[in-house]
Chain A
Amino acid sequence: MSTSRLSRRSLLALTGVGLTSGCIRQLESTFSRDHQQQLSFSIKTVPADADAVATKVARYLATQLQRVGISASVVPVSREELLRSVLLNHDFDVYVYRFPLPWDPDFLRPLLHSRYAPDVGWQNPFGYGDLSLDSLLERQQAERGVVRTSTLTDAQHRIVENQPFTPVAIPHTARATRPDRVDWPVDEPIHSVAAYLGARPVETRRFPSRVPPTAAVGNVTANESTQTTPTTTDTTTDAPQPANRLRMTITDARPTENLNPLSTPFRSDGTFIRLVYDSLGRVLDDEMHPWMAASWDWLDDDSSTLAVRLRDDLEWHDGNAITAADVAFTFRFLADTSLGSLDQLVPSPEYRGRASLVDSVSAASSREVHLSFGDVDETVALRALSVPILPEHVWEPYARPTSVSWLDGGRVTEALVRNNLEPVGSGPFRVTGTSFRESLSLEPFDAHFLATQTLDESLARFEGGFAFDGLEFIVAPSGGSAIKLLSSGVVDATAGLLSSDAVKSALATPDISVRTGVSRWCYHVGYNLRKPPFTNPRFRRAVARLVARPYLTESVFDGRAYGVMSPLATTEFSPTGESWTTVLEELRFVGNHQTGSLDTSSARSMFEDAGYTYSKSGELLVQR
């Protein structure tokens, strides 16, 4: 422990002053100016139950920081609590988690532009401010092709040099299925709208009466190989499974607690929202295609305005007709969920980046809506079409201000905090029920345009619609238990991402196969630049050099990840060339990056070069 020894100057001050109360304050300040303490901070992350990879990365970082004399401790908190404290209250020192990687790099703009620093949500949670980066981020959204690539290269240079956050890895996804039960479309990741719509039952399990003999055979072998509780009886008939439901496990229970598209602490990659809520366009094969929209065109006389025509006869899940007014309402509502009733705007923290692209919106007729954009290129502008369209008649009453205990200050509306467990969307699935932290049930929405309309080429793959009577998500406490549910035939596949342990047990279980892919998640270390020492880019760079990516991808991610220095590393916008290599080289791990062993003395001198001093016992000191 660092001691609070009185320095000579403090002693002089102590003897020199009288004991009036005003002097006590002076004495304190003299005392504290000389007082140095070991730097100590916390690393927030989620517990292993929620995401063992994040916990392990945080533990690794804490250990490395301790080696360089910093007292760092890992504080595990639940997912929603982490998102609340990091994204809404900005109450953190350092955190380790993942952010979703949308298909277009324009997500970097809300993530890092300084004008979003006072915002909440995935809008500059770090509090980073860099005017040069701001202008690069503004420029790229108006550019295309090689010009944009070059601007994004410059932007990545600045980001990596300044380390507002330290990217660690983009993991591969792994999900387990029962190929004997369900055929999944090959090209789509399981747990996507396209995969659910394309999934087909394997014929043998269509007859409920034949279930006991066929299912039992598979299950006995499964149970033997994992030597667990024998399931001896076939006599339980109290819970007959509906013949034709697609049943999935999730390990993240949040969708059973909240289905509000605007509720940041409860949202993940947005798949559940996309099942229930439609958007004007959908990204299919990395390109925006008309979805609720029949088509869109830029106006001849105003090239910054997009005219979007809705399909005919669109309906909400409650039977009301969808009009262009709902679309116009959605964009106004996302920009200000108080609808002008408060003295300040209360934008939705979700979809903020996309909604910010739209300057104004108006319903030209009941079927056509006009969106005007600022100085934004077409590809970026089309991002705005992927926001979920909300029914005005449902959401308008929730524009009222409210207060919630978990939010420190700031305005909030009911719309941002309601649970919305009976969502009225217009998506291909309708929610039929939720059971708190246990399950979520959906059924196909019969009036959906995929089921009722002739589809053009880009949507032809969805012909025939959802092939089951229902879609059910069952919460499994862990990947391991999810595999157990899968092998015993309670579910058909896992929707949540599997840990490497769960993948191993899945591969060792007969009848189960594992599907892998590249995820759209970036694990990273986020710093709160609102407080020292994280205000100091040299400090952040020194911390970044404690991260051994090859070691982490091998040991923590079990080889199933790309170690990345930039969140765009796996995209076509990944920079190349000598100057990029130099930037990366300057942030090279201090030590052997394969074994993860830190060269402690070099690492310490790195912090000394950044202006920090060490105590005799090796603690990194800061003024208190």
Chain B
Amino acid sequence: MNVPPLVSMLVSVLGGGAAALFVATLGIVGPTRVRDAYGTFRERARDASKYLGLLVVVLLVNKFARDVGPEVSWLLGWNVTGLIYAVEGDFVMHVQSLATPTLTAVLSAIYLSGYVFLLTFPFVAYFVATDRRPLKLTAVAYAVNYGIGLCCYILFISYGPRNLLPGQVESLLYVTYPQTQILTRQVNVNTNVFPSLHTSLSVSAALVAVWTYDEYPVWAFVAPVLASAVAFSTMYLGIHWALDVVAGALLGVASVAIADSVVDARVDETSST
């Protein structure tokens, strides 16, 4: 029997992400670092467990809320779709005027696999890094992103440009690769576009990457470029408004700032006792 489209999509998206992860682990982290850190794996995991645990809890809550959220949102939420369009107008249409089949293919891959890689590589890289703080920062920043994002999704109802402006803004990802929608439906609800979590998480990952320049100079360069490409792809593919991306970027920065204060405080606390 044939492979169901959902499975084949999952395989290719995660496959792409995993391949990038493998290459980056070899190239950026390097086998030496992994080997050096090997003996301390358990201890490192215990050290960061509090923060990783927080992320897991937030993700579980998020998963549950995705089913209930939209219903609550229709009751409480403020439909800002029209407002966003009134503010930014046809910006996304102009972005799409750049469209070529090659660019669509590249940005679709970045939106799906590039994003997965950008978010997961930090866990690998920072887990074996000399400085253990970035791993905690990353976990907390992601958790804050999801937490605040979820609140926004309940407070604001917003459909993306492809849903408000059919015919003007192309739903490039789903028109070019219809099967991807079967996958993204599993993780996204189409009323949840403000802010762009793709953007915010990418920005958070990129910021932490810049902070870790000393340890991973290549990643400090790659991550911001990839994050920008992810943010751009969300507009190019007609999924997000420019305002979603701006709000997402702000959320990404704020999340790292919050993570910074949280993780700092904990470190001080433990060191002082």
Please list the residues of chain A having a beta carbon within 8 angstroms of any beta carbon in chain B: 42, 47-49, 52, 55-56, 59, 73-78, 81, 211-212, 215-216, 219, 228-229, 231, 233-234, 236-237, 239-241, 405-406, 436, 476-478, 480-485, 488-490, 501, 505, 556
Check if A480 sits within 8 Å of B175, measured CB to CB: yes
Check if A55 sits within 8 Å of B178, measured CB to CB: no
Check if A505 sits within 8 Å of B5, measured CB to CB: no
Closest A residue to B167 by CB, please name it. A56
Q: Which of B9, B67, B81 contacts A75 (CB 8 A)?
A: B81
Check if B3 sits within 8 Å of A233, measured CB to CB: yes
Contacts of B9 in A (CB 8 A): 229
A30 to chain B, nearest CB (A): 31
B179 to chain A, nearest CB (A): 5
Check if B162 sits within 8 Å of A215, measured CB to CB: no
Check if A49 sits within 8 Å of B190, measured CB to CB: yes
22 of the cross-chain contacts (CB-CB < 8 Å) are A47-B164, A48-B163, A49-B159, A52-B167, A73-B85, A75-B79, A75-B81, A215-B2, A219-B2, A228-B177, A229-B12, A236-B3, A236-B7, A237-B1, A241-B1, A476-B182, A477-B181, A483-B178, A484-B5, A488-B3, A488-B4, A488-B5
Check if A505 sits within 8 Å of B178, measured CB to CB: yes
Given A74-B164, A81-B74, A477-B182, does the pair A490, B5 have CB atoms closer than 8 Å? yes
Given A47-B164, A228-B179, does the pair A478, B5 have CB atoms closer than 8 Å? no
Measured CA separation A212–B163 after assembly (Å):
38
Given A78-B191, A81-B74, A480-B174, does the pair A48, B162 have CB atoms closer than 8 Å? yes
Given A47-B164, A477-B181, A480-B181, does the pair A236, B5 have CB atoms closer than 8 Å? no
Check if A42 sits within 8 Å of B82, measured CB to CB: yes
Measured CA separation A266–B194 after assembly (Å):
26
Apart from A76-B159, A483-B178, A485-B182, list 18 A-B contacts with CB within 8 A.
A47-B159, A48-B164, A48-B165, A52-B167, A73-B85, A73-B86, A81-B74, A228-B179, A229-B179, A236-B3, A236-B7, A241-B1, A406-B75, A478-B181, A481-B181, A484-B179, A488-B3, A490-B2
Measured CA separation A239–B190 after assembly (Å):
28
Measured CA separation A55–B67 after assembly (Å):
25
Please provide the chain B residues from 147 to 187 with a CB less than 8 Å away from any CB of chain A in the complex: 157, 159, 162-168, 171, 174-175, 177-179, 181-182, 184-185
Closest A residue to B13 by CB, please name it. A229
A92 to chain B, nearest CB (A): 12
Measured CA separation A59–B169 after assembly (Å):
12
A66 to chain B, nearest CB (A): 11
Measured CA separation A379–B5 after assembly (Å):
48
Contacts of B171 in A (CB 8 A): 48, 478
Majority-rule SS of B interface residues: helix
Please list the residues of chain B having a beta carbon within 8 angstroms of any beta carbon in chain A: 1-5, 7-9, 12, 67, 70, 74-75, 79, 81-82, 85-86, 157, 159, 162-168, 171, 174-175, 177-179, 181-182, 184-185, 190-191
Check if A234 sits within 8 Å of B81, measured CB to CB: no
A-B interface pairs (CB < 8 A), number: 120
Check if B1 sits within 8 Å of A212, measured CB to CB: yes
A490 to chain B, nearest CB (A): 6
Sorted nearest first, the 9 A-B pairs with minimum C-beta distance are: A480-B178, A47-B163, A48-B166, A73-B82, A52-B166, A481-B178, A477-B181, A484-B178, A477-B185
Q: Which of B70, B82, B166, B181 contacts A55 (CB 8 A)?
A: B166
Contacts of B85 in A (CB 8 A): 73-74
Given A42-B82, A47-B159, does the pair A215, B1 have CB atoms closer than 8 Å? yes
Measured CA separation A483–B164 after assembly (Å):
23
A603 to chain B, nearest CB (A): 22
Closest A residue to B15 by CB, please name it. A229
A436 to chain B, nearest CB (A): 7
Check if B74 sits within 8 Å of A78, measured CB to CB: yes
Measured CA separation A485–B178 after assembly (Å):
9
B154 to chain A, nearest CB (A): 14
B104 to chain A, nearest CB (A): 12
Check if A481 sits within 8 Å of B2, measured CB to CB: no
Measured CA separation A241–B1 after assembly (Å):
8
Contacts of B179 in A (CB 8 A): 228-229, 481, 484
Measured CA separation A231–B166 after assembly (Å):
30
Closest B residue to A222 by CB, please name it. B2
Closest B residue to A230 by CB, please name it. B8
Check if B182 sits within 8 Å of A231, measured CB to CB: no
Contacts of A485 in B (CB 8 A): 5, 182
Measured CA separation A81–B81 after assembly (Å):
15
Check if A490 sits within 8 Å of B162, measured CB to CB: no
Measured CA separation A478–B163 after assembly (Å):
12
Contacts of B2 in A (CB 8 A): 215-216, 219, 231, 234, 488-490
Q: Which of B75, B164, B178 contacts A59 (CB 8 A)?
A: B164
A239 to chain B, nearest CB (A): 7
Contacts of A48 in B (CB 8 A): 162-166, 171
Measured CA separation A483–B181 after assembly (Å):
12
Contacts of A215 in B (CB 8 A): 1-2
Measured CA separation A582–B7 after assembly (Å):
59
Contacts of A56 in B (CB 8 A): 166-167
B11 to chain A, nearest CB (A): 8
Q: Which of A59, A73, A236 contacts B1 (CB 8 A)?
A: A236
Contacts of A234 in B (CB 8 A): 1-2
Measured CA separation A81–B72 after assembly (Å):
12
Check if B163 sits within 8 Å of A77, measured CB to CB: no
Measured CA separation A436–B166 after assembly (Å):
27
Closest A residue to B164 by CB, please name it. A76
Contacts of A211 in B (CB 8 A): 1
Contacts of B3 in A (CB 8 A): 231, 233, 236, 488
Contacts of B190 in A (CB 8 A): 47, 49
Check if B4 sits within 8 Å of A239, measured CB to CB: yes
Contacts of A478 in B (CB 8 A): 171, 174, 178, 181
Contacts of B178 in A (CB 8 A): 478, 480-484, 505
Closest B residue to A52 by CB, please name it. B166
Measured CA separation A591–B246 after assembly (Å):
40
